[in-house]
Amino acid sequence: MAKAISGPEFFIGKGDDALISFGSGQPDMPPPAEAFDILRTYSSFKYGLIQGEEALRVALVPQYPNAKPEHFVITNGASEAIDLVLRVIAEKADVPTQSRKVLLPRPYYYSYPFNVRYAGMAPVFYDLEKGKIHLDTFSEMLKECCAVVINSPSNPTGTVQEVETLKKIEKLCADKNIWVISDEVYKDIIYVRENYLLQGPRVVTINSFSKTYAMCGLRVGYVYSQNEELITKIIEMKTHTAMNTSIVSQMMAQAALSAPASYIAHNLDTWKSRRDLMYEGMKDLDLDLWNPEGAFYVLPKFKNSSEVVNDLYYKYQVITYDGAWFGAPERVRFSYALDASKITEGLRRLKEFLGKEYAGY
Amino acid sequence: MAKAISGPEFFIGKGDDALISFGSGQPDMPPPAEAFDILRTYSSFKYGLIQGEEALRVALVPQYPNAKPEHFVITNGASEAIDLVLRVIAEKADVPTQSRKVLLPRPYYYSYPFNVRYAGMAPVFYDLEKGKIHLDTFSEMLKECCAVVINSPSNPTGTVQEVETLKKIEKLCADKNIWVISDEVYKDIIYVRENYLLQGPRVVTINSFSKTYAMCGLRVGYVYSQNEELITKIIEMKTHTAMNTSIVSQMMAQAALSAPASYIAHNLDTWKSRRDLMYEGMKDLDLDLWNPEGAFYVLPKFKNSSEVVNDLYYKYQVITYDGAWFGAPERVRFSYALDASKITEGLRRLKEFLGKEYAGY
């Protein structure tokens, strides 16, 4: 019997040429050449500042209005950034007036509920409507929470929240002293407008070099916040839980920032044309989905999503991720981080699957 | 007024040529050339296995009897290894028969008490006698704990525990189902015997490339355990809290392992001659200390340790670490990770300080 597919980790290391993978959420296009160039003469090996290399933090400043280098902490990817922020907030949340609940979007990035629980808090969810935040639902749920996670553009929905919505959220949370953890790792992959940076006294921005600069495996992310007390606490915790982020990875990240602006613009064009190919292709197959406004995922509706993922993999050699892993049990996530010819072949196989297998479900 | 010296972080970035630093616990000798050589053609950027690169884990196997590659998890230094192990144990300790207390040596590596608290548990301490474990004290304290940390060779004491003691600890903990977290990051810097690897059904070994291969800033450590359930839980947690350890750092670590054995042997000779210089020099100054058997620290007695650290820094430009930061308030830690000429100059200044300042305390 075929082995049950239990989560994204099932597919790790499966890279057969005959496979079409709509699975993994990482860019297939390489980082800027600048990132590798510095390695040719690289020689550092000593501890660095826990907060992150000064030069890297200085280089990030222009991306954030009124930012200073001391507002950043460089982390082992966005994952460690989220883990540290939640653990520090959990330590500070031990006051009787605030609960230890964190409000998460649903569908959610699959690590969020784990991160909240690992920090000793409880996740509660606000349901997105076709990927968008509905403010009434949101503010109703917000009451009992000490923190909220916003993820725009979103993995897995591909949606970008309206600026007006985000501004209202800023106000709502500022009024109630609620922490806003804004995961903006897809900020440079938006098709509809410039990124809107959430701001406020308790806003914490999470970002990364993984998506913009295709550096997933090198693990460089960061926390940005104007809240100095929070930054101090994060550095204090990181001193004991990890120390500095890999110095060589940080230097590669800094070099990536020096790449010409055309690197990001060119990649965005590529993402956009793949998005069009993917969206149009799925509409032609009569699938029910919305057009992604950012990131590189589509999330079409399917009945029996786990069976779909199973059949696509075992019968058509197509990797997809079950929406259930992201809190969307009636959907399947397709990443379009693969080249156009493979997308086309994947859609061909999907069409065959729909006509044969799925018709009989 | 001179700024108060609150902890090791005070000295970070202070690298003035006139300074003699007995502070930081990192090797000054470079990593093997092999580690840098691989960078000349390096080109990987994608996510790797959360558990760590297969080739690196295979290369570690010969160091551990009966080990398999699946018994290792590669981490962001020993710091993340300890953090993950404690967090996973804390999750598993939620059973009424076991307490959430962890037994730590005192003097201790300064992060341990933080790590235990961050994992939601409470530290309790067994006092070392001149750096050695006294089994009666140890077993008395052990009763109320779910885990114990052993650190041989030790930072900050420089002592190596007797093999007989370690064997008794193995048995005591196995009988009582207590986790043994054995931090052996100095295993290749021992002057008196080969390292003794603690073993048992609930033994977790922590190790690192930082001390043996001088790769502190590159952050590659690992967990080794034959307890498969624990390893599975650690990988599961790391999936959400950090993902893979930096791929480029891991490849440097793997290359370091391919260096000839003479690299480690030569470094050990250097450490030993510095140890002799340091120990003899301090005995000549009539300081009360024991002769280090491993690692690269001495921990002489001083009254008013915080004043000593302060005066040595501000009046003699010598960096030392207050024993109080390690749970040894009547002592001062001197690292000898600096070359012989600097050690000699540092001892000269120390002599002057003893004759002038300290005589008047």
Q: What is the ipTM of this complex?
A: 0.96
Longest dimension (CA), chain B: 61
- The reply to whether residue A249 touches residue B252, judged by beta carbons under 8 angstroms, is no
User: Hey, what are B2's tokens?
Assistant: 């001179």
Residue A34 lies inside a defined structural domain of this protein? no
Beta strands in chain B (DSSP E): 20-21, 72-75, 101-106, 122-127, 147-150, 179-183, 203-208, 221-224, 297-298, 318-319, 321-322, 332-335
Examine the domain organization and report whether A268 and A214 are in the same domain.
no
Distance from the A285 Cα atom to the nearest Cα atom in chain B, whole angstroms: 32
Residue B234 has pLDDT above 70, yes or no: yes
User: Hey, what are B297's tokens?
Assistant: 């620290």
Sort out which chain B residues have CB atoms less than 8 A from A217's CB and list them. Answer: 44-48, 244, 246-247
Q: B9 CB near a chain A CB, below 8 Å?
A: yes
Sort out which chain B residues have CB atoms less than 8 A from A35's CB and list them. Answer: 45
Looking at residue A99, its pLDDT comes to 80
Average pLDDT over residues B263-280: 98
Looking at residue B287, its pLDDT comes to 98
Looking at residue B24, its pLDDT comes to 87
- The reply to whether residue A39 touches residue B40, judged by beta carbons under 8 angstroms, is yes
Looking at residue A94, its pLDDT comes to 52
Examine the domain organization and report whether A197 and A74 are in the same domain.
yes
Q: Give pTM, 2 decimals.
A: 0.96
* CB < 8 Å from A in window 215-254 of B: 215-219, 237, 239-249, 252
A5-9, B102-106, B292-296: least confidently modelled range = A5-9
Average pLDDT over residues B311-338: 97
Looking at residue A14, its pLDDT comes to 75
Q: Which of B257, B272, B291 is the last residue of a domain?
A: B257
CA angle, residues B191, B194, B195, in degrees to nearest 5? 100
- The reply to whether residue B246 touches residue A249, judged by beta carbons under 8 angstroms, is yes
- The reply to whether residue A219 touches residue B242, judged by beta carbons under 8 angstroms, is yes
DSSP A223-289: EE-S-HHHHHHHHHHHHHHT-S--HHHHHHHHHHHTS-THHHHHHHHHHHHHHHHHHHHHHHTT---
Report which of residues B8 and B164 the model is more confident about: B164
- The reply to whether residue A240 touches residue B42, judged by beta carbons under 8 angstroms, is no
pLDDT digits (tens, 9 = 90+) for B52-97: 999 999 999 999 999 999 999 999 999 999 999 999 999 875 544 5
Looking at residue B10, its pLDDT comes to 84
Q: Count structural domains, chain A.
A: 2
- The reply to whether residue A46 touches residue B217, judged by beta carbons under 8 angstroms, is yes
Examine the domain organization and report whether B339 and B197 are in the same domain.
no
Q: B282 CB near a chain A CB, below 8 Å?
A: no
Substitution target in A28, A57, A218 with the highest count of B β-carbons within 10 Å is: A218
Residue B73: give the domain boundaries.
43-257
| Phi, psi at A20, each rounded to 5° | -110, 115
Looking at residue B98, its pLDDT comes to 61
Looking at residue A1, its pLDDT comes to 53
User: Hey, what are B86's tokens?
Assistant: 């404690």
- The reply to whether residue B42 touches residue A44, judged by beta carbons under 8 angstroms, is no
Task: Provide the mean pLDDT of chain B.
Answer: 95
* CB < 8 Å from B in window 113-172 of A: 114-115, 118, 120
Average pLDDT over residues A2-31: 86
Rounded Cα distance, B32 and B126, in Å: 38
Substitution target in A43, A49, A219 with the highest count of B β-carbons within 10 Å is: A219
Residue A2 lies inside a defined structural domain of this protein? no
Residue A82 lies inside a defined structural domain of this protein? yes
Residue B230 lies inside a defined structural domain of this protein? yes
Examine the domain organization and report whether A19 and A101 are in the same domain.
no
> How many DSSP H helices and E strands does chain B contain?
11, 12
Residue B105 identity (one-letter amino acid): P
B17-21, B169-173, B280-284: least confidently modelled range = B17-21
Looking at residue A98, its pLDDT comes to 61
User: A77-92 and B228-241 are packed helices; what angle lies between their axes, rounded to 10 degrees?
Assistant: 90
Residue A10 has pLDDT above 90, yes or no: no
Rounded Cα distance, B184 and B189, in Å: 10
Residue A310 lies inside a defined structural domain of this protein? yes
Examine the domain organization and report whether B248 and B284 are in the same domain.
no
pLDDT digits (tens, 9 = 90+) for A180-196: 999 999 999 999 999 99
| CA quadruple B285, B290, B291, B297: dihedral sign | negative
Examine the domain organization and report whether A73 and A181 are in the same domain.
yes
Q: A39 CB near a chain B CB, below 8 Å?
A: yes
Residue A31 lies inside a defined structural domain of this protein? no
Examine the domain organization and report whether B14 and B53 are in the same domain.
no
CB contact at 8 A, A124 and A116: no
CATH number for the domain spanning B349: value is 3.90.1150.10
pLDDT digits (tens, 9 = 90+) for A83-117: 999 999 998 755 445 689 999 999 999 999 999 99
Q: Which of B236, B257, B278 is the last residue of a domain?
A: B257
Examine the domain organization and report whether A196 and A171 are in the same domain.
yes
Average pLDDT over residues B279-296: 98
Examine the domain organization and report whether A141 and A277 are in the same domain.
no
Examine the domain organization and report whether A223 and A270 are in the same domain.
no
Sort out which chain B residues have CB atoms less than 8 A from A50's CB and list them. Answer: 9, 12
Sort out which chain B residues have CB atoms less than 8 A from A39's CB and list them. Answer: 39-40, 42, 248
Task: Provide the mean pLDDT of chain A.
Answer: 95
Examine the domain organization and report whether B163 and B227 are in the same domain.
yes
Sort out which chain A residues have CB atoms less than 8 A from B245's CB and list them. Answer: 76, 219, 246
For B243, the closest of A13, A46, A79 (CB atoms) is A79
Residue B2 has pLDDT above 80, yes or no: no
- The reply to whether residue B239 touches residue A9, judged by beta carbons under 8 angstroms, is yes
Residue A30 lies inside a defined structural domain of this protein? no
- The reply to whether residue A42 touches residue B39, judged by beta carbons under 8 angstroms, is yes
Residue A32 lies inside a defined structural domain of this protein? no
Reduced 3-state DSSP string for B207-247: EECCCCCCCHHHCCEEEECCCHHHHHHHHHHHHHHCCCCCH
Average pLDDT over residues B127-149: 95
Rounded Cα distance, B328 and B109, in Å: 11
Residue A333 identity (one-letter amino acid): R
Average pLDDT over residues B226-232: 97
Distances (CA, A) of A334 to A213, A299, B34: 21, 6, 41
Q: Which of B232, B257, B282 is the last residue of a domain?
A: B257
pLDDT digits (tens, 9 = 90+) for A115-134: 999 999 999 999 999 999 99
Examine the domain organization and report whether B315 and B242 are in the same domain.
no
Average pLDDT over residues B204-218: 98
- The reply to whether residue A216 touches residue B46, judged by beta carbons under 8 angstroms, is yes
Q: Residue A305: enclosing H or E segment and its boundaries?
A: helix A305-316
